[in-house]
Structure 1
Amino acid sequence: MAGEAKPEKQAGKGKRKLLLLLPMLLVAVGAGLWFSGIVPKMLRGEDSAYAGHAPPAARPPVFFDMPDIVANLSVAGRRPSYIKLRSKLELARAEDAAPLQAAMPRLLDLFTTYLRELRPEELRGSSGTQRLREELIARANLVAPPARVTDILFTELLLQ
């Protein structure tokens, strides 16, 4: 009797493995078909509502020129260090330029105050420039809430 129980346990393990592997195999095949583009093409099809429709036209970018900003950086006990920043703000819509122009004194104050807190070491390399970009975008979006700044482009960034 002990010999008969052993094959049943092995048969049960095989079924259990099959029940675990089958869903994993189906997910892997489905993911492969999806990421290869086969499933999205099948879903769109030639007869679907997507056929014949062009994607919406992309809006041309809207740029807003910022005045030059010169600020002294935070240095302790050393020769003074300065930054000169010339930039353009990329706006989500052309209508966002008017609120930004109206809030320009506040925007310049926020930018200058932030720049004065920085140390020259924080601006070194591309990661320093990227952090500066993110901080300035966040401050620009605080100034005129209906307006939305999507990016800031540095046309001149000098450290002395």
Structure 2
Amino acid sequence: MSEAVADPADEAPRKRGKLLPVAAAILLGGGGFASTYLGFWSPVGLFAGSSGAPAVATVSPAVFVEVPRIELSLPGGRGRSLILAVSIETDATHRAEVEHLMPRVLDAFTGFLSGVDPAAYDKRGVLEIIRAELVTRTRYVLGEAPVKDLLITEFLIR
């Protein structure tokens, strides 16, 4: 009778022993898929062999085009004025295009700055908002390719 009854403590290690390799295979397979999917390595690269030195992308150096200084009188009767100097970061291939379209860029800048509420200049974070809006207007006039960034070199309210 004692031989007919199985000890439940003996069955638990056998199930764990069979489950451990299955769980390890699933984890390793998932990790391999994730690393391939994220681009850390490529299975095709293992069979392709070496093609020599890796290609190095050449990046043209940054060129800064100065926008003429903008001076605006702020409405409101307090006699305040805004002075703004900006540089557009581009590359050497687009420099002539940026300089050619500078009157349109100036028009877009002055149109935006004259429409800003004078009370907004007293608020915190206005410089970041103005910079973001000027970048948007610059890209609208010049396109996405020529404009890398916009730098505010002078911002003065007196």
- TM score, norm. by length of structure 2: 0.62
Distance 1:121 1:67, change over 3 A: same
Structure number, greater radius of gyration: 2
- Does residue 80 in structure 1 map to residue 63 in structure 2? no
Distance 1:103 1:125, change over 3 A: same
- Does residue 68 in structure 1 map to residue 69 in structure 2? yes
Aligned ranges 1:54-133 → 2 under 5 Å: 55-75=56-76, 78-91=77-90, 93-123=91-121, 124-126=123-125, 128-133=126-131
| 1:6-65: CA deviation from partner (whole Å, max 9, x where unpaired) | xxxxxxxxxxxx9xxx7xx849x639x74xx9x8257667x7558741542333212111
Aligned twin of 2:147: 149
Q: Give the share of equivalent positions with the same residue, in percent.
A: 28
Aligned twin of 2:13: none
CA distance, structure 1, for counterparts of residue 157 and residue 144 of structure 2? 33
The unaligned stretches of length 5 or more in structure 1 are 1-17
**SS of the residue aligned with 2:140?**
helix
CA distance, structure 2, for counterparts of residue 151 and residue 135 of structure 1? 12
CA distance, structure 1, for counterparts of residue 60 and residue 51 of structure 2? 21
Distance 1:145 1:41, change over 3 A: closer
Shift, 1:120, TM fit = 4.1
The unaligned stretches of length 5 or more in structure 2 are 1-18
Distance 1:50 1:121, change over 3 A: farther
Distance 1:50 1:130, change over 3 A: farther
CA distance, structure 2, for counterparts of residue 131 and residue 110 of structure 1? 15
Q: Aligned residue pairs: how many?
A: 132
- Does residue 159 in structure 1 map to residue 152 in structure 2? no
**SS of the residue aligned with 1:95?**
helix
Shift, 1:115, TM fit = 0.7
CA contact (8 A) 1:73 1:118 kept: no
- TM score, norm. by length of structure 1: 0.61
* Deviation beyond 4 Å, 4+ runs, structure 1: 41-45, 47-51
CA contact (8 A) 1:74 1:117 kept: no
CA distance, structure 2, for counterparts of residue 146 and residue 42 of structure 1? 32
CA contact (8 A) 2:98 2:146 kept: no
Shift, 1:157, TM fit = 0.6
CA contact (8 A) 2:86 2:153 kept: yes
